[in-house]
């Protein structure tokens, strides 16, 4: 649907989601090239550094980012306070990364990790420093500029990564990709808002930010620990090569859930806060956002699960086949996560992010224990125990969300059941197509399924945007 036919906030939201889809396609092409240029161990080594990247680039600034968006009246002193707070916290984290890097490398048995960890921390700091421009653009709902900044940054980073990989840079090509993506995107957003920090701090400006930010950052830290603890357990117990397989399998699912739906969640958060804590107004907007997520994620993840073995052979080559089964299991994890991607925004919009953090804190030891048990059965075992634990913890998560938001499970199910039904039918059709065409080449079989997916897209996305547009109106 052309964005000119949507209300302005939804048109901007469409820009952000469209940009995420474009980045998804670009990431897939880049990863396809890099899988033929780099070894699985290169991906595994960089995966170990991701926890440091997430801490500095996402965990530390996210609370201040969301606090700036939530403030009813934002002043220059609060923007300065957010910038200098993130600068200081990021600097401390960068210093600690440099100090601890040799010890971490020794634990994993890879001396090359020392410099990779320091490089990854420096790259992540570039994103942290851009917290205020990103928050200002989100407050304005200028998601077009945000989408363009991320897309241009990723384009430059992807080209550089491929060039460096061809030149033999190995794992460093992936670190350079992250650094250039953040640097270029940061320059574009900073130029768009034309804001510069002042060398001035006041206690009055710091206080409200530091009251709100820690609980949001704490939940984000817990969430990222849960999503990355499996990497650390696999790297420690099974080695960098197997971690490389698992990392690529996880990335395929993460691009759908965390990148595309994460962009949608970022877009809807200002819309949630605009309801000023009115749960009756917030509920229909939340349910529409969930419906939109379901129409994209459920069919996509079901198709990935069904076609993964054939797709890996055709696109990546047989040396990457060990990632196929873990990816199929992780696709089911992604389906569960997709249904709750907007819950965090509701907790923050209603002013109770600490409850979301408490929920994550309770689940953290359960997941870590599950990963250690799963590692006894290889990378597919880790993926399976992640899936099992996530479903066992789901009832408690839904109970708390219902008490906070007033959204019942029945209302949630009604918003996603059409997408779930179509996804199931599409999955069955794809499985039958692959089964009935066993004698044909893998390329032809995969092409048939792709054609079926395109037919769905023509129906599903038109209906999804129509539903959200009607709800918003």
| Dihedral, CA of residue 336, residue 342, residue 347 and residue 348, to nearest 10 | 140
- 446: its two tokens: 């995969």
CA 469 from centre of chain: 24
The pLDDT, as a whole number, for residue 460 is 58
Structure tokens, 438: 């066993």
* Res 389: pLDDT: 95
Q: What is the DSSP string of 114-141?
A: HHHHHHHHHHHHHHHTTHHHHHHHHHTT
Whole-angstrom distance, CA of residue 10 vs CA of residue 428: 33
What contacts 165, CB < 8 A, 6 or more positions away? 33, 34, 37, 38, 173
Say how far apart CA 36 and CA 468 lie, in whole Å: 40
Number of H helices, E strands in the chain: 18, 0
Take residue 341 and report the two structure tokens written for it: 């991607």
Domain ranges of the chain: 3-472
- Output the tens digit of pLDDT for each of the chain's 473 residues: 344 444 455 555 666 667 777 887 888 889 889 998 999 999 999 988 988 888 898 888 988 998 898 888 889 999 999 999 999 999 999 999 999 999 999 998 889 999 999 999 999 999 988 999 999 998 888 888 888 898 999 999 999 999 999 999 999 999 999 999 999 999 999 999 988 999 888 888 888 889 888 878 877 777 777 777 888 899 889 998 999 999 899 988 887 787 778 878 877 887 888 887 788 889 988 998 898 889 888 988 999 999 999 999 998 888 899 999 999 999 999 999 998 889 988 998 888 888 887 888 888 899 999 999 999 999 999 999 999 999 999 999 999 999 999 999 999 999 999 889 989 988 999 999 999 998 889 889 888 888 877 777 666 555 555 555 544 44
Residue 325 CB coordination number (10 Å)? 18
Task: Provide the whole-model pTM.
Answer: 0.75
């Amino acid at each position: 649907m052309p964005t000119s036919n949507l209300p302005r906030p939804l048109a901007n939201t469409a820009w952000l989601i469209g940009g995420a889809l474009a980045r998804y396609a670009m990431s897939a092409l880049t990863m396809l090239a890099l899988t033929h240029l780099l070894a699985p161990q290169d991906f595994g080594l960089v995966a170990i550094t991701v926890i440091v990247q997430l801490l500095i680039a996402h965990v530390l600034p996210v609370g201040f980012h969301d606090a700036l968006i939530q403030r009813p009246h934002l002043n220059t002193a609060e923007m300065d306070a957010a910038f200098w707070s993130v600068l200081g916290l990021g600097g401390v984290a960068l210093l600690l990364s440099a100090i601890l890097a040799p010890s971490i490398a020794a634990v994993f048995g890879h001396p090359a990790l020392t410099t990779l960890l320091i490089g990854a921390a420096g790259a992540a700091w570039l994103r942290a420093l851009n917290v205020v421009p990103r928050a200002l653009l989100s407050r304005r709902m200028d998601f077009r500029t945000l989408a363009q900044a991320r897309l241009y940054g990723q384009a430059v980073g992807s080209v550089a990564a491929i060039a460096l990989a061809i030149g033999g840079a190995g794992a460093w090509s992936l670190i350079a990709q992250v650094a250039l993506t953040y640097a270029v995107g940061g320059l574009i957003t900073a130029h768009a808002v034309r804001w510069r920090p002042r060398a001035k701090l006041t206690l009055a400006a710091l206080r409200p930010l530091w009251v709100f930010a820690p609980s949001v950052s704490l939940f984000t830290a817990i969430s990222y620990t849960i999503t990355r603890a499996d990497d650390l357990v696999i790297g420690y117990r099974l080695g960098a090569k197997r971690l490389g397989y698992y990392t690529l399998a996880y990335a395929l699912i993460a691009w759908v859930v965390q990148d595309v739906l994460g962009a949608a969640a970022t877009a809807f958060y200002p819309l949630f806060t605009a309801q000023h804590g009115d749960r009756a107004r917030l509920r229909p907007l939340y349910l529409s956002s969930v419906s939109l997520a379901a129409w994209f994620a459920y069919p996509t993840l079901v198709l990935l699960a069904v076609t993964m073995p054939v797709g890996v052979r055709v696109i990546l080559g047989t040396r990457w086949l060990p990632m196929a089964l873990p990816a199929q299991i992780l696709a089911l994890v992604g389906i569960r996560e997709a249904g709750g991607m907007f819950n965090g925004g509701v907790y923050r919009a209603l002013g109770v992010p600490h409850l979301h953090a408490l929920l994550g804190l309770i689940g953290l030891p359960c997941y870590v224990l599950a990963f250690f048990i799963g590692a006894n059965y290889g990378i597919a075992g880790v993926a399976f125990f992640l899936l099992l634990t996530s479903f066992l913890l789901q009832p408690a998560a839904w109970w708390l969300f219902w008490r906070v938001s007033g959204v019942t499970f029945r209302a949630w199910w009604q918003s996603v059941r059409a997408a779930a039904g179509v996804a199931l039918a599409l999955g069955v059709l794809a499985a039958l197509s692959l089964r009935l065409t066993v004698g044909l080449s893998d390329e032809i079989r995969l092409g048939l399924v792709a054609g079926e997916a395109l037919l769905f897209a023509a129906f599903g996305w038109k209906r999804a945007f129509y539903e959200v547009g009607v709800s918003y109106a």
